[in-house]
Amino acid sequence: MYENDPTPASLPLTRECEWGCDWQIVSDSARVADLEAATHTVEAHASLPQRHRLRRLVDSYRQVIGPLPAHVLLLAVQQVLETPVGTPADETGREASAA
């Protein structure tokens, strides 16, 4: 192996569904495994309002910083899925500024 190899040899990583279904992925890359897990979570477990909020959030990020690094996409998914339904981020901000 070369000294400057950007992909060091590693053991495969396994990611399972955090929501308890039988989905899992095995990958040599933690980033790929995390992106696949986030994709599965959105496709299989996110409600339609959460998907719309995620789309708006990603679009807003892209307007500000351009193409998104993978870790920002992961954070966007976490933020949307951890926010209680019925309190969209844009409405929460308006409520706080109106008070």
**Confidence (pLDDT) at 3:** 60
pLDDT band at 21 (very low <50, low <70, confident <90, very high): very high
pLDDT band at 86 (very low <50, low <70, confident <90, very high): low
> How many CA atoms lie less than 13 Å away from 60 in the CB half-sphere?
9
- Identify the CA nearest to 9 among candidates 17, 21, 1: 1
Q: Which residues, other chains included, contact 60 with Cβ-Cβ below 8 Å and sequence gap of 6+?
A: none
Say which residue, 98 or 5, is predicted with more confidence.
5
* CA geometry: angle 75, 62, 7, nearest 5 deg: 60
* CA geometry: angle 39, 45, 50, nearest 5 deg: 85
Render pLDDT for 26-81 as a digit per residue (tens, 0 to 9).
Answer: 999 888 888 899 999 999 999 999 999 999 999 998 999 898 888 888 888 888 88
